[in-house]
């Protein structure tokens, strides 16, 4: 019976990822007024599944095997705490990194239970969290500048036609990364502990990502797509594709990074290219505070619960 708890928690987190991370793939497109949510959801779900099946193994190994010696108690507490925080954050309409919450929860439970923890692996993950939004920031900025010198010289009709295709491509890339990185982070512990087989877990996880996208994603899309800076299809593609390239790179390295914060880094980079006044710095500061608070809170809660149970 206790083995069902971490699996159920994974389902809730996958639902939360769908509610939260659909904004990464679709928020900019919707903010630009190009893609309708209902028509894009099926495409999103399909590429989440493709991403985890083709490229999720490295991130799964990092989180489920290299980080610490997991056991059913650690997994149950960690994933339950993570599920609660992710759903709560989505309800507050504040973008949250499921990756950070899961790593924070696992580390807190592991420290409290006294198992072996690979602190070098934790250091590399935290370093990736710091570097990845910056990489997305500069990648999006450079891409935007390059587009200004190339695509902007075409006719308005051709620009609009090209950008529609490019935004769809970048949305697919983000959806693929959601499976290869974010969903792989969730499922890594339960798969490597032998609680569920990889393909079955990937199918179930992708299904609940899809359900979360259908039911709740519109809440965070409003913040990502329109809240940070004013986006048009031109700048929207640069931000989204720059973040997509960044997450794909870290997925190849097996590092669980936040698609959410890479998207925010990309949007900020494009916004900065238009001038500081176009970026809502107060919202950026609020998101950055959440970046620190989320894994810390997950660590503390998981640590306290594990200590109480022990």
Q: Name which of 127-141, 174-188, 273-287 the model is least confident about.
A: 273-287
Confidence tier at 212 by pLDDT (50, 70, 90): confident
If we measure between CA atoms, which residue out of 17, 1, 2 comes closest to residue 182?
17
Which residues make beta-bridge pairs with 112?
Answer: none
If we measure between CA atoms, which residue out of 246, 197, 220 comes closest to residue 31?
220
If we measure between CA atoms, which residue out of 90, 99, 96 comes closest to residue 215?
90
- Give CA–CA dist 58/56, Å, rounded: 6
Residue 193 reports pLDDT greater than 70 = yes
- Per-residue confidence (pLDDT) for residue 225, from 0 to 100: 47
Q: Name which of 38-42, 123-127, 205-209, 264-268 the model is least confident about.
A: 38-42
Residue 206 reports pLDDT greater than 70 = yes
| Domain boundaries, given as residue ranges, for the chain | 4-309
Distances (CA, A) of 273 to 221, 229, 239, 260: 23, 11, 11, 20
CB 147 within 8 A of CB 232: no
- Per-residue confidence (pLDDT) for residue 199, from 0 to 100: 93
Of 40 and 94, the one with more pLDDT: 40
Q: In Å, how far from its chain's centre is CA 77?
A: 21
Q: State the helix-helix crossing angle for 218-226 and 72-91, rounded to 10 degrees.
A: 70
Burial status of residue 222 (CB atoms within 10 A of its CB: 0-12, 13-18, 19 or more): middle
- Give CA–CA dist 190/169, Å, rounded: 32
Global pTM?
0.86
Q: Could you give phi then psi for residue 68, rounded to 5 degrees?
A: -165, 170
Q: Where are the alpha helices (DSSP H) in 92-118?
A: 98-113
């Amino acid at each position: 019976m206790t083995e069902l708890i971490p699996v159920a928690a994974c389902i809730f987190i996958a639902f939360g990822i769908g509610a939260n991370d659909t904004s990464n793939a679709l928020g900019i497109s919707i903010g630009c007024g190009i893609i309708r949510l209902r028509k894009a959801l099926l495409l999103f779900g399909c590429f989440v599944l493709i991403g985890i099946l083709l490229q999720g193994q490295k991130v799964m190994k990092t989180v489920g095997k290299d980080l610490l010696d997991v056991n059913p108690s650690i997994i149950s507490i960690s994933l339950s705490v993570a599920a609660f925080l992710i759903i709560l954050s989505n309800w507050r309409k504040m973008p949250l990194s499921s990756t950070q919450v899961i790593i924070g929860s696992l580390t807190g439970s592991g420290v409290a239970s006294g198992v072996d923890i690979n602190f070098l692996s934790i250091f590399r993950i935290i370093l990736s969290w710091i570097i990845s939004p910056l990489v997305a920031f500069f990648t999006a900025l450079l891409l935007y500048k390059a587009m200004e010198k190339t695509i902007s010289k075409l006719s308005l009709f051709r620009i609009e036609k090209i950008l529609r295709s490019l935004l769809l491509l970048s949305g697919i890339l983000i959806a693929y990364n959601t499976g290869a990185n974010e969903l792989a982070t969730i499922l890594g512990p339960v798969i490597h502990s032998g609680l569920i087989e990889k393909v079955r877990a990937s199918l179930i996880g992708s299904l609940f990502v899809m359900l979360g996208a259908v039911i709740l994603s519109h809440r965070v899309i409003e913040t990502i797509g329109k809240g940070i800076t004013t986006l048009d299809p031109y700048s929207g593609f640069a931000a989204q594709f720059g973040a997509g390239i960044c997450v794909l790179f870290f997925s190849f390295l097996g590092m669980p990074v936040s698609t959410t914060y890479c998207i925010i880094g990309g949007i900020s980079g494009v916004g900065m290219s238009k001038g500081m006044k176009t970026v809502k710095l107060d919202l950026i500061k609020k998101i950055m505070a959440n970046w620190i608070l989320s894994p810390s809170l997950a660590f503390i809660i998981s640590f306290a619960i594990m200590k109480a149970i022990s």
